[in-house]
Amino acid sequence: MLAKLHNTPLPYAWGSTEALAQWQGKPAPGGPQAELWLGTHSASEAWVEHQSTHEHLALSAWLAQNDHEGQLPFLVKLLAAGGPLSIQVHPSRSQAEEGFAREDALGIHVSDPTRTYRDTSDKPEIIVAWSDTFEALAGFQSLTEMVRNCTEIDDFLGDTRFTSGFRAALDEGIGAAISFLLSGNDSVCDLAVAITTKFTRSSPSQEGNETTGSLSAVWNQVVDHFPNDPGIVMASFMNHLRLRQGEALFIPSGVVHAYLQGFGLEVMAPSDNVVRGGLTPKNIDRQELDAIALKESSVELMCRPELMSATTTGFRPEGVPFDVLNIHLDNESVALEDLGVAVIVVLSGTVSVKEDAVTPFLREGSAYIYISGGTLTLAGEADIYVVRAR
């Protein structure tokens, strides 16, 4: 059983004004389009169109009608970042369960913007770059890198007073340094203001701006969007990653991260639990952020693909309820066995689908829901992503 998925893009301010529309082959929307959700999550549930009546049917209802439990065990999003997302972290399942119960007991409604825990699930996630490059901040640098960047900031500002508090924390070790960054205390705020003031007065190419390429690249992404924000200081000591098209990043629970710019496929457990720490006008919970963030440097977060066949690679990190398959067809076909429930998204090209003597075509800019225990055959010339339950 196959049906086309529909939804309305979410117009968050950080969204791109062109990426989603270009992929869908539609005119520019005239405003930001940040995310397109392709799942059963109630915050923005996808729908299918009834073949005979052309009425919209919620995806959960469609799944129930086709003998599925009605909820997908994963959430697929198309993420189009024209500017930085908030610096954030996701809880483990036990942390989510405890936090949800605590806020329930306090009488904070799940729709309250000050609420942190909106469900009891963890939220491990994968982001696969679809644009030529996708930029992200993920995890904290090593102690050696932090010391180096601290020295670069001193040189840039021409004053060591602004980093004295952070240097004292560095002397205590990586855990103390990260807690200092997450705190948003007066020293962090003063340093953010000093960086903003100096950086906005001179472009990276002008004399007097002696930051390294890495710091300049990060500040170029965040300072104009969030001047004086303590998140600027946090970002200065996080790993700045540039993914090429087709590369993926895996963010487990506890890893502080922020996506900066690019278009990609994001897949996660179906949760809306986000604890924010900076670069956002939304609610920030620094106490909870410090409680659940990993206090160690994160070195390896790239998600390495597994070669599954001549046409298919898979992203399959441990501890997630899904697999992400990338199928590249060059005028050829592939047979997929026992997919169960899956979301199919066509990055580029067109493929025919053969199942039960019906041969529809799946086209670039579209997404589909599929349920079956049999064989699904795809044929054509296309780049396709299939997200299936594990």
Residue 247: what pLDDT? 97
- Shortest CA distance to 168 belongs to which of 146, 138, 197? 146
Task: Reply yes or no on whether the pLDDT at 51 is more than 90.
Answer: no
Predicted confidence band of residue 358 (pLDDT cuts 50, 70, 90): low
List, in sequence order, every residue forming a beta bridge with 385; answer none if it has no partner.
326, 345
Which of 266, 284, 287 minimizes the C-alpha distance to 274? 284
Question: Rounded mean pLDDT of 169-197?
Answer: 97
pTM, full prediction: 0.92
| DSSP 8-state secondary structure symbol assigned to residue 297 | B
Question: pLDDT of 88-104, one tens digit each?
Answer: 999 999 999 999 999 99
User: Do the beta carbons of residue 369 and residue 386 sit within 8 Å?
Assistant: no
| Cβ contact 278:230 at 8 Å | yes
Token look-up 């992203």 returns: 315
13-39 tens-digit pLDDT: 999 999 999 999 999 999 999 999 999
By the 10 Å C-beta count (0-12 exposed, 13-18 middle, 19+ buried), 355 is classed as middle
What the chain holds in terms of domains, given with CATH numbers, is: 140-237 (no CATH), 306-389 (2.60.120.10)
What pLDDT, on the 0 to 100 scale, is given for residue 299?
Answer: 67
Whether residue 261 is predicted with pLDDT greater than 90 in this model: the reply is yes
Please tell me the distance from the alpha carbon of residue 374 to that of residue 127, in angstroms, as a whole number: 29
